[in-house]
């Protein structure tokens, strides 16, 4: 019987709680953070930003594993089923941790019941982008074309339920236009095709849109932040130019599979608390178009409650906007 338990434990088929010895010298090997989108997108960029700084505090390597597909739900499922041993975590976000239960009828995980919130990351607003050679110079130009040509505007996104998908659907619904969504395995590939003029527009997060905007590869027409951003000079908010109060940001954070010891959660959260007190680190994030939060919002309990609230909020938004799995 002992051999069977040992074998099952090794196989991860059922994970025994961490021994007190294992908890004392945690982390004693590399940690994996699953990012459920392709490399090169905003979630991947945010994850590597945070992981690099947190690993310095932990004195341990954090490996980022990209597992793309289905708007992030494939990677989230893998994380939910991983051993709660403190060595595998999910980089979660608004799409697959809040909107997905209202879009996917048989989600193999529950964002609240199957995970423990570890700490929230900073947010990224989004920006409506068109290709550098696009004829659209403003949000109203794009909306005017959309009204005259229903369904003709192709918007690339990172998959059903991704923020780029949700925000484009909300925008179309509130602007009174019909768009055609084109899904990719992440916003990175979606942005590449926008730069290659394969699609007409996309909503990307500011941290990955900024360098391409500065480099003249894409044109920013409007921000989803409540106010203009210094990093995007002369770019209006969508709220001031087209749809009043059109405000949304992608939120992100770290989650552990349920059953992960609280001490592990606290170890990682304390490392993050030290990182956000490092002004050099936080100013670099702000310069990338990332919105820092009041420190109390990063905490595990606050983030767990926030995740539950967001699930309810997005269920109402999705119903109101008639967003579906296409």
What does DSSP say about strands 62-66 and 218-223: parallel, antiparallel, or unpaired?
Answer: unpaired
3-state helix, strand, coil split of the chain in percent (to 5) is 45, 20, 35
50 belongs to the binding site for ligand MLT (CB under 6 A): no
186 belongs to the binding site for ligand MLT (CB under 6 A): yes
- Long-range Cβ pairs for the range 101-104 (8 Å, 24+): 101/311, 101/315, 102/311, 102/314, 102/315, 102/318, 102/319, 103/71, 103/160, 103/161, 103/318, 103/323, 103/324, 103/325, 104/70, 104/73, 104/160, 104/161, 104/325
- Three-class DSSP category at 82: coil
Q: How far apart are CA 235 and CA 10, in angstroms?
A: 54
Query: Which residue is associated with the tokens 């055609």?
Result: 180
Q: How far apart are CA 269 and CA 322, in angstroms?
A: 37
Beta carbon of residue 187, minimum distance to ligand MLT (angstroms, whole number): 4
Residues in contact with ligand MLT, counted by CB under 6 A, come to a total of 14
* Binding-site member from 55, 77, 164, 212 for ligand MLT (CB under 6 A): 164
* Binding-site member from 27, 84, 86, 95 for ligand MLT (CB under 6 A): 95
162 belongs to the binding site for ligand MLT (CB under 6 A): yes
300-321 and 163-175 helices cross at what angle (nearest 10)?
Answer: 40
36 belongs to the binding site for ligand MLT (CB under 6 A): no
Beta carbon of residue 92, minimum distance to ligand MLT (angstroms, whole number): 11
Phi, psi values for residue 296, rounded to 5°:
-65, -20
41 belongs to the binding site for ligand MLT (CB under 6 A): yes
122 belongs to the binding site for ligand MLT (CB under 6 A): no
Q: Which is nearer to ligand MLT, 205 or 231 (CB)?
A: 205
Segment interacting with ligand MLT, rule: CB under 6 A, options 3-11, 105-113, 156-164, 171-179: 156-164
Q: Which is nearer to ligand MLT, 87 or 109 (CB)?
A: 109
Residue nearest to ligand MLT (CB): 41
On the CB side of 68, CA atoms within 13 Å amount to: 18
250 belongs to the binding site for ligand MLT (CB under 6 A): yes
143 belongs to the binding site for ligand MLT (CB under 6 A): no
Q: Using an 8 Å Cβ cutoff, are 41 and 208 in contact? A: yes
Q: Which is nearer to ligand MLT, 43 or 225 (CB)?
A: 43
Beta carbon of residue 31, minimum distance to ligand MLT (angstroms, whole number): 20
127 belongs to the binding site for ligand MLT (CB under 6 A): no
Q: How far apart are CA 203 and CA 151, in angstroms?
A: 17
Segment interacting with ligand MLT, rule: CB under 6 A, options 25-33, 59-67, 80-88, 155-163: 155-163
Beta carbon of residue 96, minimum distance to ligand MLT (angstroms, whole number): 8
- Interacting residues with ligand MLT between 254 and 293 (CB under 6 A): none
Q: Which is nearer to ligand MLT, 196 or 244 (CB)?
A: 196
* Binding-site member from 27, 42, 146, 289 for ligand MLT (CB under 6 A): 42
* Binding-site member from 82, 163, 207, 225 for ligand MLT (CB under 6 A): 163
Burial code of 144-166, b = ≥16 C-beta within 10 A, e = fewer? eebeeeeeebbbbbbbbbbbbbb
206 belongs to the binding site for ligand MLT (CB under 6 A): no
For ligand MLT, the binding residues (CB under 6 A) are: 37, 41-43, 95, 158, 162-164, 186-188, 205, 250
């Amino acid at each position: 019987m002992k051999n069977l338990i040992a074998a099952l434990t090794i196989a991860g088929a059922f994970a025994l709680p961490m021994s007190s010895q294992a908890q004392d010298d945690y982390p004693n090997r590399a940690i994996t953070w699953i990012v459920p989108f392709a490399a090169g997108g905003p979630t991947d960029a945010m994850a590597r930003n945070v992981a690099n700084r947190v690993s310095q505090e932990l004195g341990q390597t954090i490996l980022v594993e990209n597992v793309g597909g289905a708007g992030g739900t494939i990677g989230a499922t893998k994380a939910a089923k991983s051993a709660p041993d403190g060595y595998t975590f999910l980089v979660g976000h608004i799409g697959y941790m809040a909107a997905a239960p209202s879009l996917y009828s048989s989600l193999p995980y529950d964002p609240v019941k199957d995970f423990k919130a570890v700490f929230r990351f900073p947010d990224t607003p989004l920006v409506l982008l068109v290709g550098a050679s696009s004829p659209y110079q403003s949000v109203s130009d794009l909306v005017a074309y959309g009204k005259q040509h229903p369904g003709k505007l192709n918007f690339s996104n990172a998959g059903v339920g991704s923020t780029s998908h949700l925000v484009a659907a909300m925008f179309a619904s509130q602007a009174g236009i019909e768009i055609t969504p084109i899904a990719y395995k992440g916003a990175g590939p979606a942005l590449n095709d926008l730069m290659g003029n394969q699609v007409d527009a996309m909503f990307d997060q500011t941290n990955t849109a900024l360098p391409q905007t500065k480099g003249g590869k894409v044109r920013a027409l409007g921000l989803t932040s409540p106010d203009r951003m210094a990093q995007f000079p002369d770019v209006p908010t969508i709220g001031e130019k087209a749809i009043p109060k059109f405000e949304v940001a992608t939120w992100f954070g770290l989650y552990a599979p349920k059953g992960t010891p609280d001490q592990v959660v606290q170890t990682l959260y304390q490392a993050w608390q030290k990182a956000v007190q490092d002004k050099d680190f936080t100013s670099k994030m702000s310069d990338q178009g990332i919105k820092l939060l009041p420190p109390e919002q990063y905490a595990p309990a606050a983030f767990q409650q926030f995740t539950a609230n967001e699930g309810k909020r997005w269920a109402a938004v999705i119903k109101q906007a008639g967003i579906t799995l296409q």
